[in-house]
Amino acid sequence: MLPKGDNRLVQILDAALADAAHRSGNWLVCKPGCTPCCVGAFAINRLDAARLQHGLDELTRSDPERAGAIRKRAQNSVDRLKDGFPGNPATGLLDDSEEAEALFEDFANDEPCPALDPATGLCDLYQARPMTCRVFGPPVRSEQGLGVCELCYHGATEEQIATCEMIVDPDGLEATLLKEFEQSSASHGRGAERSHQI
C-alpha cells in the first residue's frame, strides 16, 4: 500500500515538470513515443516499486491483457539479465557494495523497460512511473551538475538551460515518505526497475 502522501509527491513533481516544460518551450523535445530514456536499467527505491505495483494492480483490473503483457516482458527481462545482476535477482535488490554500484553502472544499458509497449512506444504504467522517469528531460541538478536529456536543448546556452531548471521536491517529501514507508513495511534497499519489481 502506498503512503498517503505519495499522491502529493506525484502532484508536486508533475507541476514542477509542467513549469519547466513551459519555460523550456521548443528546447524540450520530449513527446509521446520518444523512448531513449525508457532503455537501460536504473535503480529505483521501494516507494517507486510500490507505486509501480499499485499501477500494475490497477491495470490488471481495467485491462488484464495489457497488464499480462507487462508481466511477460518483465519476466523475459529478468530471465535475460539475472546472471549478471549485481544483487539478488530473486528480490531485485542491489547489493550495497561499491563493487556492485560500479557493476550496475554498465548493467543492462540496452534493456527496454518492461512497462514500455514496443508497439506504441508508450509507457503502459505512465501514471505510476518512478520519480526518475518523472524528472527526465528538463534540466535537473545532481551531484554532477545540471543535466539534461541529450536530445533536448540544442542551441541553448548554459545560462538559458539554467533558467529552465526543474526544481525537484524542494521540501524533501520523497525522502520523508520513503523513510516512513520503509519503517512501516520493514523493507529496505534499492531495486532495479528491470527486475522483479514489476
Q: For residue 130, what is its C-alpha cell? A: 518512478
- Element containing residue 5 per DSSP (H, E): none
- 104-148, pLDDT tens digit by residue? 988 999 999 999 999 999 999 999 999 999 999 999 998 889 999
The full set of domain ranges for the chain reads 6-192
Residue 190 falls in which region: left (phi positive, over 0), alpha (psi -120 to 50) or beta = beta
**Which is it for the CA torsion 75, 76, 78, 79, positive or negative?**
positive
d(CA 52, CA 124): 10
* Mean pLDDT value of segment 64-91: 94
- 154-195, pLDDT tens digit by residue? 999 999 999 999 999 999 999 999 999 888 876 555 555 444
Taking only Cα atoms into account, the Rg of the chain, rounded to an integer number of angstroms, comes to: 17
Q: What per-residue confidence (pLDDT) applies to 92?
A: 87
d(CA 48, CA 131): 7
Strand order through the sheet with 190-192:
43-45, 190-192, 93-94, 87-88
d(CA 31, CA 29): 6
Q: Tell me how far CA of residue 107 lies from CA of 9, 40, 74, 102, 164, in angstroms.
A: 29, 8, 16, 9, 31
Q: Count the neighbouring beta carbons within 10 Å of the beta carbon of residue 82.
A: 14
pTM attached to this predicted model: 0.87
Q: Evaluate whether 149 touches 34 at the Cβ level (below 8 Å).
A: no
d(CA 91, CA 57): 19
Mean of pLDDT over the chain: 90
